[in-house]
Amino acid sequence: MLFCTLVPAGANATGQEDSFWDTSLEELGQIRVVSIASGTETPLDKAAAITSVISAEDIAAMGATDLDQVLETVPGLHVNRSDQGFSSKYVFRGMTSSFNPQALVLINGIPATTMMFGNRTTAWGGMPIKAIERIEVIRGPGSALYGADAYAGVINIITKSSKDVQGAIVGARTGSFDTHGGWVESGTNLDSGVGISFILEYQETNGWRETIERDAQTNFDESFGTAVSLAPGPVNTSVDQLDARLDMGTDNWQFRAGLQDRRNMGTGPGVAQALDPNGRFSSRRFNTDYSYRWQDVTDGLDVEARVSYFNITQEPENDIALYPPGAFGGAFPEGFIGNPGYKERQVRFDLSSIYSSFNDHRVLSGVGAFWADLYDVSESKNFNPDFSPKGGVEDVSSDPSQVWMPEEHRVNYYIFVQDEWQFAQNWQLVSGVRYDHFSDFGNTVNPRTALIWATTDTITTKLLYGRAFRAPSLNELYAANNPVALGNPDLDAESIDTFEIALSHQVTSDILYGINLFYYVIDDLIIATPIPGRTSKEYQNSGKRRGRGAEFETTYQALENLKIIANYAYQYSKKSNGGELVGEAPNHQIYGRTEWRVVPGWFLNTQVNWVGEQKRVAEDSRGPLSDYTTVDLTLRTEGLWRGLDLSLSVRNAFNDDVRDPSPYADPIPIPGDFPMPGRNIIGELQYHF
């Protein structure tokens, strides 16, 4: 994918000397900028997309300790939990599904996506935030630059380099749910001009243990006349996290490596939505990339090449009980056990350029290739393809008639071009197109265009259009011997066309607001559709969806020591063929935060998050999931005493009953929905050498 190259200091973005886009990096450093929207550093209000930027300072003000807590503050983006092991779902503008492949997560511009499920793995296990310098978010399509799965939205996590880490920091954390952890940050610049930074963070937690009253096994107990369900019982949300980041480089080259290791990871409500208090998964994600930049190859031409490697594993640590001991009328005295695992490796090569010597134009272009290999697929289980007992757990990894997934691979080639044309003093037109070829499902072409008008000195107006696509995952294409859904090798990619209009207004130096309206149409939606036979469903391209909505956000510097940040989001989406609501996502959200410097060095921050009721899918007879409000308080210091700082956060301070929607099935496995954490407290101490 395209690497976000910085515009050289003093460079003219469009070739016009008095352009308001002609902004040096020194000036850009004084305002909020974004690179994810068009591939180069751009003032946020002039970006060619609906974007948000969250800095490390913002993250500290929130008292956040995990990426999910940060992303929930973005308008139009709601974070909830999947039935797949309670893995995080990043729901943009109401677009949701079990595996959540509609949201593309990048780490330093490189996708953190598995081809297996099209998401961050079902054992994502969260992402701690100490290594994050800033987060850039596109709400809307991004495939014209970022290719597959930049569909409903794009999240680019930019990690710290030696420019962001000076000296050394050590810290420790403790809190509710038997949570304990610590971190180390270190950065230096060598005499040779090479900057090096290293960040290590570890945390372990038993997780929240809120109660599920009845589960999928409860339904089977009523059918078989048994009583083996473990419900009522707590969800299984333990996880041990180890994250490490190394960054080194100069002005021309950069090398990065990262490790995200997850152990002792609980199965949430159970893999089959039947409680499994003992099941544990592990997942390891290792990535490395090297990039080299040639500046001024010829007049106005910068070129960058990058190669990257990404390896993902997801494996059970012990027997995973899909249903508890005694399931199915006692046919499975040890439980109905299935232990799937897989490994995946990816290699990417990207070559991109920026040419700015055309009059009033800047042209971005790039080519690239991507190779993914699903290998070492494994499974052990104690049931046959017809669900009869085997008599014991048996390794079926080498038996294609029984293993859950064949080993497959994918190759992708792409080319893109984008032109940024300032055709008048206050007007810019950004237009681009990207072509992708995939070895397993064919070709896609995704255009975009953005008309940006500096309406006045304080108002910017945008008209945007973009097409994006979601590649069918390997699971959707090839899954076999799966008791839930079969793959379909004839699938096409999903596509979405999005139209947006936006306005931002700097009312005074202290007040800024922005509002945008959007409308989208989804075609070739991939859905697990009922079919006759032993397996009840198969993935198929089925129907269309339409959605519309609005997002509003504002920042107000009320006093020198008091800042107020707020946003509101509305979305409404339905199926085109029947007009039925999509459901399982809030139609309304409101967020607000105050940042108050009580006295020099002491900050008290309060945030309130209201999530409106979440309607059900048309087939689900349950009433809407009730709205909820969480209030978080954070007291923190800056420069308290000789490099020592403290932070204390209370999340969900009033202990509201927060629930995420459980999916519909007949009968409903968990009718009471998924319970989220109640009131919890976290304290941090850090020392800066």
Domains in the chain (CATH in brackets) are 25-688 (2.40.170.20)
Please, which residues have CB within 8 angstroms of residue 485's CB and are 6 or more apart in sequence? 479, 528, 535, 536, 537, 538, 539
Tell me what pLDDT residue 308 has: 98
pLDDT of residue 85: 87
Place of tokens 């490395």: 288
Q: Is the pLDDT of residue 284 over 70?
A: yes
What was the pLDDT predicted at 581?
84
pLDDT of res. 484: 75
Is residue 415 helix, strand or coil? strand
% of the chain residues with pLDDT over 70: 93
Contact 144, 433 (CB under 8 A): yes
> Of all helices (H) and strands (E), which one includes residue 98?
none
By C-alpha distance, which of 659, 145, 98, 96 is closest to 436? 145
First to last CA, the chain: 38
Confidence of residue 579 (pLDDT cuts 50, 70, 90): confident
Partners of residue 394 on adjacent β-strands:
381
- Evaluate whether 66 touches 177 at the Cβ level (below 8 Å): no
Question: Can you tell me whether residue 63 is helix, strand or coil?
Answer: coil
CA–CA dist 60, 194 (Å, integer): 28
Positive or negative: CA dihedral 160, 552, 629, 662: negative
Amino acid identity, residue 589? Q
- What are the DSSP calls for 165-205, one per residue? --EEEEEEEEETTTEEEEEEEEEEE-TTS-EEEEEEEEEEE
* pLDDT tens sequence across 114-154: 999 999 999 999 999 999 999 999 999 999 999 999 999 99
Q: Which two tokens stand for residue 144?
A: 């014209």
The full 3-state SS of 574-643, as one line of letters, equals EECCCCCECCCCECEEEEEEEEEEEECCEEEEEEEEEECCECCCCCCCCCCECCEEEEEEEEEECCCECC
- Are 501 and 447 in contact by the 8 Å Cβ rule? The answer is no
The pLDDT assigned to 23 comes to: 40
Q: Which two tokens stand for residue 60?
A: 């500290």
Q: What is the pTM of this model?
A: 0.93
Strand duo 195-205 + 179-189: pairing: antiparallel
Mean pLDDT value of segment 204-219: 97
**Which tokens go with 238?**
């333990």
- By residue count, the chain amounts to 689
Report d(CA 553, CA 593) in Å as an integer: 12
Residue 17 confidence (pLDDT) above 90: no
- Whether residue 2 has pLDDT greater than 90: no
Q: C-alpha angle with apex 83: 245 to 536, nearest 5 degrees?
A: 130
CB 470 within 8 A of CB 493: yes
Instruction: Find the mean pLDDT for residues 199-210.
Output: 97
* pLDDT tens, residue by residue, 340-393: 999 999 999 999 999 999 889 999 999 999 999 999 999 999 999 888 999 899
Looking at residues 481-501, what average pLDDT do you find?
91
Residue 241 CA: distances (Å) to CA of 62, 88, 124, 179, 264:
21, 15, 10, 11, 9
Give 295-300 contacts, CB < 8 A, sequence gap 24+.
295/8, 295/252, 299/357, 300/355, 300/356, 300/357, 300/358
CA distances from 552 to 18, 34, 68 (A): 31, 19, 21
User: What pLDDT was estimated at residue 34?
Assistant: 60
Residue 177: phi, psi to the nearest 5? 65, 30
Q: From residue 587, how far is each of 80, 387, 612 by CA, in Å?
A: 14, 40, 6
Question: Helix, strand, or coil here: 26?
Answer: helix
The pLDDT of residue 507 is 95
